[in-house]
Amino acid sequence: MVEKKMPRKEEKVEEQVKGAVKFSIAYPAKVEEIIGRTGMRGEAIQVRCKVLDGRDKSKVLRRNVMGPVQIGDMLMLRETEFEARPLNKSGGGRRTPQ
């Protein structure tokens, strides 16, 4: 009877390290306009960006971005189907006293 040689744990670890890195599909978009700050504390910035590749190429979207951003920056969008809600001119979700 032929004995089957079982791989050692050390060999399995090496195979996992040598594996390829996998990224999710993303589409590039260029920031064209900065609309304003949004969020409870103003932590996100709402921008208009133009999709440069993919199914919705040349579509202009409104998106919320975390962190510093300026006109001309490139964003990598995981999806291009949904838009962020427009900012209210009233100043967020505050209610005016009646």
18 or 58, greater pLDDT: 58
pLDDT, one tens digit per residue, over 10-39 is 555 555 556 788 888 999 999 999 999 998
Least reliable range by pLDDT among 12-16, 39-43, 51-55, 88-92: 12-16
Query: What pLDDT is stored for residue 23 in this prediction?
Result: 85
3-state secondary structure of 3: coil
DSSP 8-state class, residue 23: -
Beta strand 74-77 with 60-66 is unpaired
Does pLDDT of 76 surpass 60?
A: yes
Beta strands in 1-98 (DSSP E): 27-38, 44-51, 60-66, 74-77
What is the CATH code for 23-77? Answer: 2.40.50.140
